[in-house]
Amino acid sequence: MHTKNKIRFQQKMLNPIFFKLFLILKLPLAFFAGVKLKSLNDTHSTIQLKYNCLNKNPFKSIYFAALSMAGELASGILAASFTYKNSPRISMLVIAVKIEFSKKAVGVINFTCNQGKEIQDCINKSIITKEGQCINIITTATDQEGDIVAIFNIRWSFKSK
């Protein structure tokens, strides 16, 4: 893992203008849904999504697909910071998703993933073994009161090329 590349990626993504450009080019639905990156470092990431007219459902809450997109992005952007311009190149792929919704998502929802160390270890193992490695990554979505809205269990696969 090249620390310079990881830091460069994290700094770029934390720039709101660059992050919006990234979303427009790579994840346009996330851009239109209103996804924002609130924090990104070696250990965790937080994505924010606010209820609005473009991500709502008929029940006056955030549509589950928009919640799922933000939940996946919280783990994906953390993993991407470890794979950015890496040599050897690392492919990453979602291979399973399990979501438990526990509360209506209204207002501002924060999606936090705290498994940076485990993700980095999994990627390093893929590089060492030259075999694909899988890891279950948890993202927790909470509302403004701190109540859990949903828990995302996303199984990622990493493979050194």
Q: Tell me the whole-structure pTM to 2 decimals.
A: 0.94
Q: What band does 92 get if pLDDT is binned at 50, 70 and 90? A: very high
Average pLDDT for 92-98: 97
- Which long-range contacts does 14-17 make (Cβ < 8 Å, 24+ apart)? 14/39, 14/40
Please tell me whether residue 161 adopts helix, strand or coil conformation.
coil
| Domains of the chain: total | 1
Task: Mark out the alpha helices in 2-133 (DSSP H runs).
Answer: 3-14, 16-26, 28-33, 64-83, 116-129
pLDDT, position 85: 84
Burial zone of 89 (CB within 10 Å; 0-12 exposed, 13-18 middle, 19+ buried): exposed
pLDDT digits (tens, 9 = 90+) for 49-69: 999 999 999 999 999 999 999
Tokens of 121: 């270890």
The string of pLDDT tens digits covering residues 69-89 is 999 999 999 999 999 888 889
- Which range marks the domain in which residue 131 is found? 3-160
What 3-state DSSP class applies to 155? strand
Angle between helices 116-129 and 64-83 (to 10 degrees): 60
Q: The domain that contains 154 carries what CATH number?
A: 3.10.129.10
Task: Give the pLDDT of residue 2.
Answer: 64
Better-scored residue on pLDDT, 71 or 5: 71
Instruction: Return the DSSP state at 62.
Output: B
CA-angle at 113, arms to 108 and 67, nearest 5°: 40
Residue 32: which residues within 8 A CB-CB, separation 6 or more? 54
Angle made by CA atoms 68, 156, 100, in degrees to the nearest 5: 35
Q: Is the pLDDT of residue 1 over 60?
A: no
